[in-house]
Amino acid sequence: MIIEVKGLRKRFGKFEALKDVTFSLPRGSTAGFLGPNGSGKTTTIKVLVGLLRRDAGEVRVLGMDPWEQEVEVRSSLGVLHEVPIYPIKVTVKTLLKYLAKLRGYGMEEVERVAKLTGITGYLDKRVEALSRGYLQRLGLAQALLGDPEVLLLDEPTANLDPLARLEILKLIKLLKRELGVTILISSHILPELKEVCDYAIFIGGGVTLDWGPLDELAKRYGVISSYEVRARRSRELARHLISLDYVRGVELAREGVIVKVDGRMREELINELEKLRQAYGITGLNHHGSELGDMYERVLKAKV
Ligand SMILES: Nc1ncnc2c1ncn2[C@@H]1O[C@H](COP(=O)(O)OP(=O)(O)OP(=O)(O)O)[C@@H](O)[C@H]1O
Ligand SMILES: [Mg+2]
């Protein structure tokens, strides 16, 4: 587990913002951190990076305590804060160069992250001249400096226009696929999270309500999940699958079919595919996505 949190509590004066935050995040996962406004997401992230001291509980990031070993934890984490604070009079390049240097990197690294986040053309602009969307990209660029193993992104697509949003999601997918980065993303935009996440952590009122791999959660809460079945005879397979009463939909994909079922029917589907393996040349099965919106409602309803 790359992040482990157990019984985390945090109060601000008399107000207890975190009452019992408990979850773990396996290496290489992309997790959605989901919960209503004020539920404790940002506070949890601040504890994870060692910016806030917890009152109780255990927190381990890459096996380290972020409060005791702040410097070590920070150097292996990339963080995009909800409300980043940057010096505004300097240029983007100066700022990134400075932040890169703190991590032991030079201009090449600045150019790499600028390219990844699409701000190469903005390097000579002053930070105060950036639009909110470009500030957000700058935030992502600094988080990526040094190619960290873990990224904590607090609402990474807030303020972005639809195209920029797609680009950032593409970037997140790339980081996950090519570099195996572990990513925690808080966001309120559930449809877009569905595209990138394979794991979810639900929080409400400072308490984590449930967490785990999306397909397990889909099973637990009976929400629709889609699976990608790779098969040589995909048309014939699609025709067969659509005739099953528990199958909610079938689409042809590039190398097979996407099949939608209630998460509770996962085992049935797997057994059925096993029987069909020879006949349709089935070579693999992947969880493709779950209806996060439905899941969100059900988790909150079940636990609050
Ligand atoms: N420095 C602080 N002093 C007092 N209360 C705080 C402080 N920081 C956060 N809180 C309170 O703690 C609770 C959790 O806040 P937090 O920012 O973690 O929520 P969030 O889940 O990130 O919400 P959002 O989705 O709106 O970003 C809120 O009620 C908030 O008002
Ligand atoms: Mg927040």
Angstrom distance (rounded) from CA 112 to CA 14: 45
Tell me the per-residue pLDDT of 29-63, one tens digit each, with 9 for 90 and over: 999 999 999 999 999 999 999 999 999 999 999 99
* Ligand 1 contact, 17 CB (< 6 A): yes
Please write the tens of the pLDDT for every residue from 112-171: 999 988 899 999 999 999 988 888 899 999 999 999 999 999 999 887 888 888 888 888
Q: Whose CA is nearest to atom 11 of ligand 1?
A: 17
Q: Bigger pLDDT: 290 or 153?
A: 153
pLDDT tens figures, 250-270: 999 989 999 999 999 999 999
Q: What is the mean pLDDT of residues 75-90?
A: 90
Average the pLDDT over 282-303 and give the result.
Answer: 89
CB of 15 within 6 A of ligand 1: the answer is yes
pLDDT interval class at 84 (50, 70, 90): confident
Distance 201 CA to ligand 2 centre (A): 14
* Structure-block tokens of residue 65: 């305590």
* Predicted local confidence at residue 185, as pLDDT: 96
User: What is the sign of the dihedral through the CA atoms of 35, 50, 63 and 156?
Assistant: positive
- Going along the chain from its start, the domains and CATH numbers come out as 3-215 (3.40.50.300), 222-303 (3.30.70.920)
Whether the CB of 208 sits within 6 Å of ligand 1: no
Instruction: Tell me the backbone φ, ψ of residue 226, rounded to 5 degrees.
Output: -115, 145
Q: What is the DSSP letter of 278?
A: H
What pLDDT was estimated at residue 131?
Answer: 87
Q: What is the pLDDT of residue 275?
A: 95
Bridge partners, residue 290, by sequence = 225
Global pTM value: 0.90
Does 249 have pLDDT greater than 80? Answer: yes
Q: What is the pLDDT of residue 226?
A: 92
- Closest Cα to atom 5, ligand 1: which residue? 12
Taking all residues of the chain, what is their mean pLDDT, rounded to a whole number?
93
Nearest ligand 1 atom to alpha carbon 35? 21
pLDDT at 97: 97
Minimum-distance ligand to the CA of 40? 1
Residue closest by Cα to atom 30 of ligand 1: 38
For residue 172, pLDDT over 80 is answered with yes
To test the pocket of ligand 1, the residue of 12, 34, 52, 300 to mutate (highest count of ligand atoms within 8 Å of its CB) is 12
Check residue 52 and report its DSSP letter: S
pLDDT recorded at residue 304: 64
